[in-house]
Structure 1
Amino acid sequence: MFDRFMKQRPNSFKEVKTPMDAEAWIDHMEKIFRVLNCSEVEKARFGIYRLEGDASIWWKSVVASHAAGYEDTVTWDVFKIQFDQRYFPASIREEYARKYQTIAKKENESVADFQVRFQRLAGYARSIAGNEEDKIMKFKWALKSSVRNHMIANRYTSMDSLVDSARD
């Protein structure tokens, strides 16, 4: 399994410039794990193997704070919780959730770029963001008034149909 994993050329993880770096690395690893159908313990082992530099030092300190054999039994979900606490702490997630609550399309921002920013923040504000219908309404109200006024009365069944209409 390890050879198959390495053939996928998994990225290593050394440091974080932004919390999105940490999220992107986890997403990258999970794509590989889905293809390979790894066990939860294999996922953790393979992810830990790809830690380098400061990240490797951090992980060694985590292992040192647990009983012997911890690293051999840790699962991917447990690793991700610890990884998130270190590289994407709750305070930053809460900050992004607050940004979601006050999100508005910027004057020179394209609808496509706004959609990416909106969806990223909605992902961090899961409990606040609500269901798809709630997100559609929030997106409509976050558009500048000249666009919103043409769209507000229309019902949209998906975010994609709303975005297409906003682009037009």
Structure 2
Amino acid sequence: MQHSSDKEYNIERIAKLRAKVFTSASDPVVAEAWVDKIERVFDVMSFPDDKRLHLATFLLEEGAYDLWQLMQARYADPSVITWMDFKRTFYDTYYPRSNKDAKQNEFLQLVQGSMKVFEYQKKFVELSKYAQVLVADEIDRCKRFEDGLREEIKSSVTFAGLTNFGKLVEVALRVKKSISERMIDVGFGQVWPILTVSRPSPEGARVQGPAMVQYSSHLIADLRVMALFRELLVQDKVRVLVVPDFLRDSLVGNST
């Protein structure tokens, strides 16, 4: 049994470390974050399990404290309740198994998509704790992270063959930066005249005008633009008359 002065001292210490009162939570992530935070505080203070239970339950108020009282009522001797017993009941109430399964599935389906590399990394780390068996090994962790990267980044990163997660993320960031330096900022959804071309008219004559490209993203790589117009040229759908400098050396076989 803790002496009252010791308990007050410990409460002051955990308050300084920003352990917060918990009342209730409709969002399971909030409940999980509360337990994670107080466990980090308890680890720093090297508290044994019995102190963890006493101090954690002191931080409960309103509906959460009602839960603690109901839990104690189920035991003939509440003093036998352990910290693990409390966490199990707490998670069953505020963080049910269905939510954990949903987070695990979210991790399994995670890809970079429209996220920036650092955003993808943050989400990957956040969700990986729900599927620790899949990323316990550093090599497996790197492989899964690589597989979720966008293709233009993944091809370069995979070639490096890195098995250190920190270095892998660093390389992915550098690759993305390199790609960004070769991209044109044209604004989301804008139609931009990339080339001046002549096209067949319905009457058979060729009509001169700009080739217009509708962008679905606010950034497009110059390599993709080159690939697009190479294809058009091969199909003789357009005849290029004026080519921007950054594409001139890359578009071969242009006719005028």
Q: Tell whether the structures are fold-level matches, with TM greater than 0.5.
A: yes
Counterparts of 2:159 and 2:66, CA distance in 1: 55
- Cα shift at 1:130: 4.1
In the alignment, what sits opposite 2:9? 4
In the alignment, what sits opposite 1:160? 166
Counterparts of 1:110 and 1:50, CA distance in 2: 38
In the alignment, what sits opposite 1:43? 52
- Equivalent residue for 1:113, pick from 115, 119, 125: 119
Counterparts of 1:86 and 1:80, CA distance in 2: 10
- Cα shift at 1:39: 2.0
- Cα shift at 1:66: 2.2
> Which has the larger share of strand?
2
Q: Is 1:86 aligned to 2:63, yes or no?
A: no
Q: Is 1:56 aligned to 2:61, yes or no?
A: no
- Cα shift at 1:15: 1.6
Amino acid at match of 2:22: F
Tell me, yes or no, if the aligned pair for 2:31 and 2:94 is still in contact at 8 Å: yes
Structure 2 gap segments, 5+ residues each: 1-5, 175-256
| Superimposed CA distance per residue, residues 67-111 of structure 1 (whole angstroms, 9 cap, x where no aligned partner) | 2x31x232222211221111111111111111111110131x221
Which entry has the higher C-alpha Rg, 1 or 2?
2
Q: Calculate the TM-score normalised by the size of structure 2.
A: 0.60
Pick which of 124-133 and 24-33 moved more. 124-133
Counterparts of 2:72 and 2:159, CA distance in 1: 56
Q: Calculate the TM-score normalised by the size of structure 1.
A: 0.90
In the alignment, what sits opposite 2:105? 98
Greater RCO, CA 8 A, separation 6+: 1
Tell me, yes or no, if the aligned pair for 1:5 and 1:32 is still in contact at 8 Å: no
- Cα shift at 1:162: 0.8
Structure 1 gap segments, 5+ residues each: none
RMSD, aligned CA: 1.6
Amino acid at match of 1:110: K
Pick which of 15-24 and 139-148 moved more. 15-24
Tell me, yes or no, if the aligned pair for 1:156 and 1:162 is still in contact at 8 Å: yes
Amino acid at match of 1:52: E
- Cα shift at 1:45: 1.0
Q: Is 1:128 aligned to 2:141, yes or no?
A: no
In the alignment, what sits opposite 1:23? 32
Counterparts of 1:13 and 1:6, CA distance in 2: 14
Pick which of 145-154 and 12-21 moved more. 12-21
SS of 2:159's equivalent in the other structure is coil
Counterparts of 2:10 and 2:118, CA distance in 1: 34
SS of 2:160's equivalent in the other structure is coil
Amino acid at match of 2:11: M
In the alignment, what sits opposite 2:41? 32
Tell me, yes or no, if the aligned pair for 1:41 and 1:73 is still in contact at 8 Å: no
Tell me, yes or no, if the aligned pair for 2:134 and 2:140 is still in contact at 8 Å: no
Change (3 A) 1:37 1:4: farther
After TM superposition, the runs of 4+ consecutive aligned structure 1 residues lying more than 6 A away are: none
> Which has the larger share of helix?
1
